[in-house]
Chain A
Amino acid sequence: MDVLVLLGEGFAGALTPQNLIWVLVGCVLGTAVGVMPGLGSSMAVALLLPVTFSLDPTAAFIMFSGVYFGGLFGDSITGILLNTPGQASAIASTFEGHKMALNGRAAQALATAAIGAFIGGIIAAILLVFFAPVLAGLSSSFGPAEFFALAIFAFAATSSVVTDNAGKGLASLLLGLGIAVIGIDGVTGAPRFTMDSPNLFDGISLITVTVGILALGEVIYVACLERHISNKQMIRPTGRPWLTRREFAEATPAWLRGTAIGLPFGVIPAGGSEIPTFLAYGIEKRLDGRRKKPRFGTGAIRGLAAPEAAGNSTTGMAMGSLLALGLPVSATAAIMLAAFRQYGLQPGPLLFERAPDLVWALIASFFIAMVVLLILNLPFAMLWAKLLVIPRPYLYAAIAVFCGLGIYATSGATFDLVLLLAVGLLGFVMRAHDYPLAPLIIGMVLGPLAETSLRDAAMSANGDLTTLFQGPIVIAIYAVLLVVLVAAGRNRVVARRRANTTQKETVGV
């Protein structure tokens, strides 16, 4: 029971007044960006990254994980009350959640969502305590070939599983990889693609790219659409936000099923919690169809409970694969990986050996964050919904100011601000043409790892590239990747066929 001792020490480290404040700050910020449609936790973490450099790493990561989880708690509030999900991970919960609210059960819907997110997150955190050290132990035998395979896994999965056009995903990934090779080559010291400008010797900062793509690009994009956005009427919940025993009995199996569906997606880099939330919704809908009195379409509590639990259990496990393998499964996790590097820490097996106090304090803070978030969300959901009163011009203007603040504070150069605008324009064009952005971020974060491990492996084998595809772990990673890709491809074909038949049906009628 070594891990329990370590976890206990972690709690001791996380329960200091200072760290508790950062948990609270992270949870409040995360819920706030989760509630506001259009703002997500990835944008929040990107914007916070530059201003956290003066904090100590434990405090910074405790705050980041609060933001990551908080986004998943907050995102369903506006989905339920306004039929407008705050983040993509709440789209699936909105279908039944908003119908519950329309039927006068808004308070119960909010409670179901918050408790579901809590259950998913807490189960994932418990599993993480036992599972992460095992995974870290396994990966301690990884060499360059294994890390290269892991990077390829992440590249292929993020750029082709989530997106409907694999070409666009891969193009976005290659852009990220290309940006990452700019700067002085670490192995030979040769300047690459710098045009002899000292501004580029250190490469293009990851902070500039993430803030530009995720935050400034979004500001420009929304500005160009602003005239066409209409505001909707919000439903005011009445009654206490708590569930009756019967509602509990009804929702519990869905919470647990949702959690189970979400867990494996924390290890597969398929873009985070969107896919598992939709899967959980789909399975509940199918199970509901078998009942004598199907409730879906009329505000089924299970249709809300399962996706909420799935989203948070994915995020919990995603933190595990980030800590133990250094594998980011979503854009938010990729930015956190970059944050670890900024502090000179390399997530993976060595992190558990070299910085155990940080790792375990962080894991302990997940439990604290779940409790804090449940308290923040269960009774105060209506207060959070009030955030929507902030006029959009001021909200986005403040985001733009914060972009400028973060970039200037880290570099102090006009060059980086102009670069930020250029990257923001790229982000705008990519959004307008529906190119996925997450592969670019993941490509930029993992690109250097892929290149160094490729070169290390090949050089130690005297330039023989086949060494990259040898070894049991390497082959296992590629095999899993193949399964994921085939499953994704099959799903897409099935979905397309189904779409075609429904189209024919409507034409026939």
Chain B
Amino acid sequence: MMPSSNNPTSVSATVGNRLRFQRGSGPRGIAKALIMPAILAAFATYLLYGIVVMKVPPSAAFPGPQFFPGIIAAGLSAFAIILGIQAVRAALVTPSIEEEEAGGRAVGVDWRSFAWVAGSFLAFAFLLGILGWIIAAALLFTGIARGFGQRKVLFALLVGLTISSLSYIAFDMGLGLSLPSGILGWAF
């Protein structure tokens, strides 16, 4: 009797209706299953490259600055291969209906929502310095709410402006964190 997911705090386990992303089939399914092993392999390569080009002072005694990262890179490469093989094997087997049901309802990724959320945050990262906290955060709020299917954009913007203004007052003026005032700067 254990939680079914490896991340029991994530919504798939806690919102009650058990959901998970469906596994694709064919070459696309294999490609999808290989995303994580590919990330592991890429990170291992980055570490290996860094170990090779690292400028180590001649005084460094064994085990130097390259030793521990070397172990990590080796481990990452090993698990990239192991998990890659596991993932391909799993993708090649079409799961039976019973297994499908045991793992929860499979659903597709909502790419439009994904684009709204990730895009809004990326825009926020670059616009924050120019627009200032109050406007940029309100836009971020609206964009994310839109990504979650909120259609009343103007109302969301109003809620967002309230939250960004209140947080500006609480954290910038109250707790003394520095948030950019941006183009509204003349007013403060």
Contact = CB atoms under 8 A, between A and B. Distances in A.
A185 B110 contact: no
A451 B68 contact: yes
Interface in A406-444: 408-409, 412, 414, 417-418, 420-421, 424-426, 429-438
A53 B177 CA distance: 9
A438 B5 CA distance: 13
A393 B83 contact: no
A242 B98 CA distance: 43
B6 A163 contact: yes
Contact of B11 (A165, A225, A417, A421): A225
Contact of B177 (A409, A430, A465): A409
A40 B9 CA distance: 6
Nearest to A412: B178
Nearest to B152: A393
A434 B69 contact: no
A198 interface: no
Interface stretch (A81-89, A290-298, A372-380): A81-89
Contacts of B13: 88, 91
A113 to B, nearest CB: 16
Given A412-B178, A429-B39, A393 B137 contact: no
B57 to A, nearest CB: 5
Given A54-B175, A190-B60, A165 B140 contact: no
B64 to A, nearest CB: 7
Nearest to B177: A409
A301 B13 CA distance: 24
Nearest to A218: B10
Nearest to A450: B68
B87 to A, nearest CB: 8
Interface in B114-129: 114, 116-118, 120-122, 124-126, 128-129
Contact of B125 (A163, A418, A435, A495): A418
Given A171-B79, A190-B60, A223 B177 contact: no
A458 interface: yes
B32 to A, nearest CB: 9
A187 B65 contact: yes
SS of A interface (majority): helix
A405 B171 contact: yes
A229 interface: yes
B10 to A, nearest CB: 5
A245 interface: no
Interface in A17-51: 37-38, 40, 42-43, 51
A256 to B, nearest CB: 21
Contacts, number: 290
Nearest to B119: A421
Given A181-B69, A192-B65, A409-B177, A227 B149 contact: yes
Nearest to B73: A178
A146 interface: no
Contacts of B63: 454-455, 458-459, 463, 465
Contacts of B176: 54
Contacts of B110: 223-227
Nearest to A424: B121
B16 A228 contact: no
A367 interface: no
Interface stretch (A247-255, A311-319, A396-404): A396-404
Interface string B55-67: 1110111111101
Interface stretch (A122-130, A274-282, A346-354): A274-282
A139 B93 CA distance: 50
Interface in B15-50: 15-17, 19-21, 33, 35-36, 39-40, 43, 46-47, 50
Contacts of A164: 2, 6
Contact of A463 (B50, B62, B120, B126): B62
B4 to A, nearest CB: 9
A394 interface: yes
Given A163-B6, A405-B177, A409-B178, 5 more contacts: A190-B54, A190-B56, A400-B120, A434-B20, A437-B7
Interface of B: 1-3, 5-17, 19-21, 33, 35-36, 39-40, 43, 46-47, 50, 54-57, 59-65, 67-69, 72-73, 75-76, 79-80, 82-83, 86, 98, 105, 107, 109-111, 113-114, 116-118, 120-122, 124-126, 128-129, 133, 137, 140-150, 156, 159-160, 163-164, 167, 171, 175-180
